[in-house]
Amino acid sequence: MLFGLDGFAARGVRVRHNLERDGLPPLRARLADLAVNRPLYAVGGYGGDFASVLASLRRINAADVVLSTVDTVGIPLILLKRVGLVRPPLVYVSIGLPERLVQLRGPRMRRLYRHALRRARAIVAYSASEADWLRDWLGPGAPPVEFIPFGVDIAAFRPSGREPDTDVVSVGLDPRRDFELLIAVAVRRPELRFRIVAGADRARSLGTLPPNVDLEADIALEQVRERIAQARVVALPVRDNSYSGATTTLLQAMAMEKPVVVSRTAAIANGYELEDRLNCRLVEPGDEAALEQALVETLTGADAGGSLGLRARQTVERSFSWERYTDALWEVLSRC
């Protein structure tokens, strides 16, 4: 559902995905994964989940087009396509691919991955800056790199009408989320109540929290929606990077008419119609004082009346609905 595959099925397209398989990939696929990944990393390359890809190879090659939704399977797919084991057209969704490509060691490895990525039929990025970076890195002869803004289901994420009971809520599973920065603000503002929703590993890394910070890990999407509804302000501090401005949670919170304070990363600086003090508050990544000021102003100032959240909802309705996103992705796939 995250990539609109259920919507494509409604268009009469038969959709399959590798998560349909129960249990681990077959032993031979797992052994092949080790046999490829170990030497690949040893010579300065970047690997991924070859086991899942190899276990799905028959279905992959029976398809009219393959959509790679994460880099951990996308990288194996493009490398296997380069050696002829993957045959159908491949649409590659980049989610932090630049961060992986800069880790390649030596010109030989960079050449290998550049040539492999050029075999994709198209590359999709959710950040305009990431799309620009990839076009420049791939150079002449590259496939089209399409910037498609992400979307949100504006019917599922809508104003709840409930009275908020938590001052600041922050939600995110992405490793770039800067919860430590938010905790530092919480220490300085003991009069405010904070709630953090994170993945289990990230939650454990946060250690002992101040008494005004509640922490939850690995909760269901329905509960995530409830936590956003409980917030007076949604805070999304993010370390600077090319792919994540907490985009999914940002759009969900905006759709629920919540005032959002978010780091101005490259991922959302362009293409998402965000304007500071108009439909959100934008602060520089890593700036504790700016984050604190924006939170306090949003909680206590003119924005406390809800105008920021109203304009946020209007922005999402106008430009970032789920239908608009899936239509754009379908246009890329249908050209294959």
131 and 104 within one domain: yes
Given pLDDT bands bounded at 50, 70 and 90, which one contains residue 247? very high
- Do 175 and 302 lie in one domain? The reply is yes
Say if residue 81 is in the same domain as residue 115. yes
The residue written with tokens 């936590």 in the block is 227
What was the pLDDT predicted at 305? 60
In this structure, are 140 and 219 located in the same domain? Answer: no
Q: What is the mean pLDDT of residues 32-44?
A: 95
Same domain, 27 and 44: yes
Render pLDDT for 188-236 as a digit per residue (tens, 0 to 9). 999 999 999 999 999 999 999 999 999 999 999 899 999 999 999 999 9
How far is residue 333 CA from its own chain's centroid? 20
CATH code of the domain in which 123 resides = 3.40.50
Q: Is the pLDDT of residue 67 over 70?
A: yes
**pTM of this prediction?**
0.90
Same domain for 35 and 88, yes or no, is yes
- The DSSP element (H or E) to which 59 belongs, if any, is helix 57-61
2, pLDDT greater than 70 = no
Are 144 and 53 members of one domain? yes
| pLDDT reading at 110 higher than 90 | yes
Torsion angle (degrees, nearest 10) of CA 310, 311, 313, 319: 170
Q: How far apart are CA 171 and CA 179, in angstroms?
A: 9
Q: Is residue 277 domain-shared with residue 330, that is, in the same domain? A: no
* CA 258/CA 252 separation, integer angstroms: 9
Quick check: 3 pLDDT over 80? no
Going by pLDDT thresholds of 50, 70 and 90, the confidence category of residue 64 is very high
Residues 98 and 123 in one domain: yes
Residue 73 and residue 52: Cα distance in Å, rounded? 8
Instruction: Say which residue the tokens 């951990």 belong to.
Output: 72
In a domain, 158, yes or no: no
Mean pLDDT over 78-99 rounds to 95
pLDDT (tens digit, 9 = 90+) per residue, 159-179? 998 899 999 999 998 888 999
CATH number at residue 224: 3.40.50.2000
**Contact in structure between 241 and 97 (CB atoms under 8 Å):** no
Q: Are 168 and 194 in contact (CB under 8 A)?
A: yes
- The answer to whether position 157 is within a domain reads no
List all residues 6 or more positions away from 5 whose beta carbon is below 8 Å from its beta carbon.
15, 17, 67
Domain with 255 in it: 166-320
Report helix, strand or coil for 2.
Answer: coil
Alpha-carbon gap, residue 71 to 38, rounded angstroms: 18
Q: Is residue 266 part of a domain?
A: yes
Three-state SS at 170: strand
**Domain assignment of residue 57, yes or no:** yes
Sheet holding 213-217, edge to edge: 213-217, 194-198, 166-171, 231-236, 260-263, 281-283
Asked if residue 90 and residue 210 are part of one domain, the reply reads no
Q: Residue 316: name the closest of 251, 269, 232 by CA.
A: 251
Distance in angstroms (rounded) separating the CA atoms of residues 155 and 321: 9
Asked whether residue 160 is domain-assigned, the answer is: no
52 and 171: one domain?
Answer: no
Q: Residue 330 burial by CB count (10 A; 0-12/13-18/19+): exposed, middle or buried?
A: middle
49-61 pLDDT, tens per residue?
999 999 999 999 9
pLDDT tens digits, one per residue of 282-321: 999 999 999 999 999 999 986 666 799 999 999 999 999 9
Residues 186 and 307 placed together within one structural domain of the fold: yes
Domain count, the chain: 2
Do the domain assignments include residue 159? no
CA distance 134 to 127: 11
Q: Is the pLDDT of residue 77 over 80?
A: yes
Residue 72: inside a domain, yes or no?
yes
Asked if pLDDT for residue 238 goes beyond 80, the answer is: yes
Query: Mind listing the pLDDT tens digit for each residue in 5-33?
Result: 888 888 888 988 887 777 788 999 999 99
Is there a domain that residue 161 lies in? no
Q: Cβ distance 181 to 291 under 8 Å?
A: yes
Token digits of residue 165 = 């009971």
